[in-house]
Structure 1
Amino acid sequence: MTEHLMPDGRRPANHGPRAAARNRAALVAAAREIYAEHGLDAPLSAIARRAGVGQGVLYRHFPDRAAVATAVLEENVRQVEQAAAADGATFADVLGVLTWHLTESAAFIGLLHADAAGGSPGILAYARALSGRVEGALRDCLPDGHRLNAAQDLMIAVSMVAGAVTGPTREERERRALAAWRLLGVGAGPVRPLDG
């Protein structure tokens, strides 16, 4: 095994778990971008390149394509939940974060249409659980008496907006999503990722 040394002859620092966490976060962010640009069938090597890591690092974190997609979905849902839990969060703010994820992630849209998509019982149960978490986060911020307060109306509206999110560019998908919210009479806040 070849040992790589720094120019002064010292071994490079081993950042251990910190590097692993950074690499995983970079891979999830890269996967989201690559999937938005090229769809879910994009080569995993493109994700590794975008993240600035080798394919071996990708496979240490994610054994297969499904694991990468699952990690992106989990991160999308986590950000929606965090947006809802933020101090002073409004329903419009959370819709803005949700809408950003809809415009960025074809897999996220698929999750919200899981009941119609069919598939294996395990995947369907997983998708329903994630969709339920999204609904719970949205309901936490939904004002009393809001037009989407009825039992199924909230997620039907989200699915309708998700269905409108089409177009060759992120800007076009965002424009269509915001138009769909407007047509439903619902205001969405700034379309942005949670940390943006």
Structure 2
Amino acid sequence: MTQHPMPDERRPANDGPKAAARNRAALVTAARAIYAEQGLNAPLSVIARRAGVGQGVLYRHFPDRAALETAVLEENVREVEQAAADERADLPTVLAVLTWHLTESAAFIGLLHADKEGNRSQIRVHAAPLSERVERAVRSHLPDGHRLGAANDLMLAVAMVSGAVTGPTREGRERRALDAWRLLGVEVGPVRPFVV
């Protein structure tokens, strides 16, 4: 049975650009959650449904899968950069934020390993600059002579830790990540997202 609005009921106003910004933010939030649960290969229809929009709206904001993945991963990278730029930051604090993202997001781990994935050429194009930004942010806090200071050692250590981040619960993944950092002889602060 079709319900028709009563004469005194009004349709919500079209918010135009406000709705577009809201829809984009909802899509990025939904994609972040879905990618954390299912990885980068999650169906786009699931993301649109979680965001409460149609797939047409998704494609209006993100013309392809790589554009959406990049938008989500950009947020992860930006938070690591913000943590590194904080005047109170030190290496353990920045590594703690990085570790939080590793334990929260299979997509973020995928970003750090994108150069090794043979079938993900679109995200690989975007992954290299994002990965380099993560490296710069963390490297800016490496003291002279630190064990991870050699050319490739820092990102190799991050890749090794991300490889240890497995398990069905975030708490279990965090425990494994911290164990991996400990085995590498690297101190990490309390694992949490960066909050301004």
TM-score class, shorter-chain normalisation, is: 0.7 to 0.9
**CA 1:6 to 1:93, structure 2 compared with 1: closer, same or farther past 3 Å?**
farther
Identify the range of structure 1 (19-28 vs 155-164) with the bigger mean alpha-carbon deviation: 19-28
Deviation at 1:138, TM superposition (A): 0.6
Amino acid at match of 2:195: D
Q: TM-score, normalised by structure 2?
A: 0.84
Q: TM-score, normalised by structure 1?
A: 0.84
1:59-70 to structure 2, matched below 5 A, reads 59-70=59-70
Which residue number in structure 1 is paired with residue 24 of structure 2?
Answer: 24
CA distance in 2: counterparts of 1:179 and 1:122, whole angstroms: 33
Q: Structure 2: where are the runs of 5+ without partners? A: none
Which residue number in structure 2 is paired with residue 178 of structure 1?
Answer: 178
Which residue number in structure 2 is paired with residue 166 of structure 1?
Answer: 166
Identify the range of structure 1 (111-120 vs 55-64) with the bigger mean alpha-carbon deviation: 111-120
Task: Give CA deviations for 1:77-123 in whole Å, capped at 9, x if unaligned.
Answer: 11111111122122222112211211122222122123333457665
Which residue number in structure 2 is paired with residue 147 of structure 1?
Answer: 147
CA distance in 2: counterparts of 1:118 and 1:18, whole angstroms: 39
Task: Give CA deviations for 1:121-168 in whole Å, capped at 9, x if unaligned.
Answer: 665443222111110011122223322112211111101001101112
Deviation at 1:9, TM superposition (A): 5.3
**CA 1:192 to 1:24, structure 2 compared with 1: closer, same or farther past 3 Å?**
farther
How many pairs does the alignment contain? 193
1:1-196 to structure 2, matched below 5 A, reads 8=8, 12-119=12-119, 123-195=123-195
Tell me if structure 2 keeps the 8 A contact 1:5–1:12. Answer: no
Tell me if structure 2 keeps the 8 A contact 1:118–1:124. Answer: no
Classify the secondary structure of the residue corresponding to 1:34: helix
Deviation at 1:26, TM superposition (A): 2.2
**CA 1:146 to 1:79, structure 2 compared with 1: closer, same or farther past 3 Å?**
same
Q: Structure 1: where are the runs of 5+ without partners? A: none
